[in-house]
């Protein structure tokens, strides 16, 4: 069974490139992102982990702990690090890559790809992404096929949105980026909105005449 939004992520103990990982201890009240990868020494995975390493400071700045997983053993992961850091020069992989050669974690997290298989006919993990809140609950999940690499700018964007909307009674519209206007939640009355946003807000006129689209400057985190 896969994980649903709001589920507490399973705890696990596994070996990684940075030693033994106890997942819930690793999160330890922080935001976290868990990324699965189909296999070591594959081109798209190498590009992803290198890109992630080059942007790790963006996740650090947001208080997000990063952890990757691939269905190979630790020795394979450690050898692979050289290729990742070579492909993305002047980067160092400063996050753990968990070993899951038995695919036990891939099964527990619902990350197996039903189509892609390795040379031995074993199913590969898809490119799963779980954003996990400080309460260890799944806040966002995205599944990519093995053939499609992730967009890390989008992952940073959704983390900004999750952290912002946790703190303020706003939602972020389509294509929102940090610093742009937000939308006031429809559960907030105009009277309450005036108290919460004293600098004011704009109500967008629509043909139905319903005043439900209210734009407000982004609150400061």
State the catalytic residue, choosing from 45, 88, 129, 182.
45
Q: Are 132 and 31 in contact (CB under 8 A)?
A: yes
- Summarize the chain as % helix, strand, coil (round to 5): 30, 25, 45
Q: Are 88 and 53 in contact (CB under 8 A)?
A: yes
- 88 flagged as catalytic: no
- Within 8 A by CB and 6+ apart from 38, the residues are 45, 70, 71, 113, 116, 124, 125, 126, 127, 146
Q: Are 119 and 128 in contact (CB under 8 A)?
A: no
- Measured from the Cβ of residue 89, the count of other Cβ atoms closer than 10 Å reads 8
Catalytic residues: 45
């Amino acid at each position: 069974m896969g994980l649903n939004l709001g589920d507490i992520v399973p705890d696990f103990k596994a070996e990684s490139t940075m030693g033994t990982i106890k997942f819930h201890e690793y999160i330890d009240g922080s935001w976290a992102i868990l990324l699965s990868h189909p296999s070591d020494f594959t081109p798209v995975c190498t590009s992803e982990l290198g890109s992630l390493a080059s942007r790790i400071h963006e996740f650090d700045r947001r208080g997000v702990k990063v952890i990757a997983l691939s269905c190979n053993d630790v020795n394979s992961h450690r050898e692979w690090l050289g290729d990742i850091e070579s492909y993305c020069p002047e980067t160092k992989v400063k996050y753990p890559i968990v070993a899951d050669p038995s695919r036990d974690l891939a099964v527990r997290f619902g990350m197996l790809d039903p189509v892609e298989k390795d040379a031995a006919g074993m199913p590969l993990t898809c490119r799963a992404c779980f954003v996990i809140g400080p309460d260890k609950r799944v806040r966002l999940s995205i599944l990519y096929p093995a053939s499609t690499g992730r967009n890390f700018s989008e992952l940073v964007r959704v983390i900004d949105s999750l952290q912002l909307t946790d703190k303020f009674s706003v939602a972020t519209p389509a294509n929102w980026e940090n610093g742009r206007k937000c939308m006031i939640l429809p559960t907030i009355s105009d009277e309450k909105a005036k108290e919460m946003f004293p600098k004011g807000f704009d109500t967008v006129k629509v043909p139905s005449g319903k005043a439900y689209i209210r734009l407000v400057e982004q609150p400061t985190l």
